[in-house]
Amino acid sequence: MKYFSKNKGFTLIELLVVIAIISILTAIVTSNFTQSKAKARDAKRVSDLAQIALTLEMAFDRCNAYPSAILINTAIKSGCKDNNSGVEYTMAYFISKMPTAPLAGETYDYVPNANFTDYVLRAKLETNSSVLLDDMDGTILTTVDCDDTSPKYYCVVAK
């Protein structure tokens, strides 16, 4: 004959230990996931700046000047028109959709020089990425801070 205990289940201590272990594992996984997301957003920022720089170079090729702003419907330069239609070039001629920063409220900085023959593109990175070794550092165009310390700025200049 088998003896059945009336007390079935886990003790309170056993349940608390299991909950504590699950909480610790969740915290570790969540922190690693957060760091991965920040690195992914930084990679997008660097890629976006490369795409914008390429678009600016195409605009310079066509108009012999960089735009005063990189808004999609802003004219590149007064007098820079399509030979066939006479319509003034806008950024939409060179790129269908301007890349946007990954976080809400965040923007990429674009600063052209006075005669629109040079520019600086800048994005603020979240992590101390190795791409900071490849960017421009210091103060560029006398006003744009491209320092790699806090905050960490990734900067691209005209080629």
Residue 51 has pLDDT above 90, yes or no: yes
Over residues 77-91, the pLDDT tens digits come to 877 888 888 888 988
| Average pLDDT score over the chain | 86
* Domain CATH code at residue 84: 3.30.700
The encoded tokens of residue 40 equal 């992914």
What per-residue confidence (pLDDT) applies to 5?
63
Q: What is the pLDDT of residue 108?
A: 93
d(CA 124, CA 150): 10
Q: Is residue 31 part of a domain?
A: no
Q: What's residue 24's pLDDT? A: 95
Please give the residue that has the higher pLDDT: either 3 or 19.
Answer: 19
Give the whole-angstrom CA distance, residue 32 versus residue 85.
54
pLDDT of residue 157: 87
pLDDT in tens, 138-151: 777 777 888 777 78
Residue 104 covered by a domain: yes
pLDDT at 1: 58
23 falls within a domain: no
Residue 18 lies in a domain: no
